Amino acid sequence: MLLGSMAQNAFAQKIEIKGTVRDASDKSIEYVNVVLQTIDSTFVAGVTTSPEGEFIFKNTATGDYRLVLSSIGYNTGYITLNGVKRHTDLGPVSYTHLRAHETLRHL
């Protein structure tokens, strides 16, 4: 049984998941942390976007995933990827700035 499971994992298809992080004005955003997690939030891999806003996860098993995007000055973003079975190019991924809040009006 164990040997069969090991053989299945050895021949499991490996894929790539990639995309480009852009802001509301379609400008690429560099240094965004992009984390690939399973649906139950287990860490799989993490990368930082390039100066062109690009990210790529190589040698990833097929399955269901969540991408978590985070960067200073931006809201944390989540993207659910269900049933990823082949190389996936997400294309431009929209990412929004945090909204400014007035917390102290008078001192």
What does the pLDDT look like over 53-103, one tens digit per residue? 999 999 999 999 999 999 998 889 999 999 999 999 999 999 987 654 323
Please choose, from the candidates 35, 14, 36, the residue with its C-alpha nearest in 3D space to the C-alpha of residue 87: 14
Put simply, whether the predicted model's pTM sits higher than 0.75 gets the answer yes
**Residue 69 belongs to what H/E stretch?**
strand 63-70
pLDDT in tens, 1-57: 545 544 445 567 899 999 999 998 999 999 999 999 999 999 999 999 999 999 999
Residue 54: CB atoms within 10 Å: 15
Distance, in Å, from the CA atom of 92 to the CA atom of 89, rounded to the nearest integer, reads 9
pLDDT value of residue 63: 95
Per-residue pLDDT at 104: 34
